[in-house]
Structure 1
């Protein structure tokens, strides 16, 4: 009788331990899953951040390139006029030399 009871208790204890272990395993799996999900979410966020950073850098590069081109154009404009043999380097229009007769003065004004 006593042995039987001990056996039963032992068996119950073992079952309890097994059940506890199973529960623990399940919990661990759940934790692992949660951890994986969290990691995936973090990875996704990191990827998005990286993409945003790249886009921002590209935009900045494009702006810099445009600025540089504008600056070069601005610098090149007088140079091109200097290389051609014209005395007109400023932005004033070309005015032909007209003798100072009264008729021509009235016409120009």
Structure 2
């Protein structure tokens, strides 16, 4: 049996412009980040995404299998929240080796 296809995962972390003491959705510029990634979702290239809820800020997005790395890197680096310094970004390949038939949620 062939291995499952890999996905690219975009991790976001608070950047130098992150305002300590403000909750995530109060951060200036965060809505532009959400709107920016919504375009990736609507194009069918985003499988899932959302914030971490542990109080440290940041979140992750899982691209659909087959999205080219260079395309995702360019997209992630042009995120208005990354360009402004609100968020930092890292992209890692991930193999969803175990998953429910219905997916998440």
Q: TM-score, normalised by structure 1?
A: 0.17
- Greater per-residue helix proportion: 1
Q: TM-score, normalised by structure 2?
A: 0.18
Bigger CA radius of gyration: 1
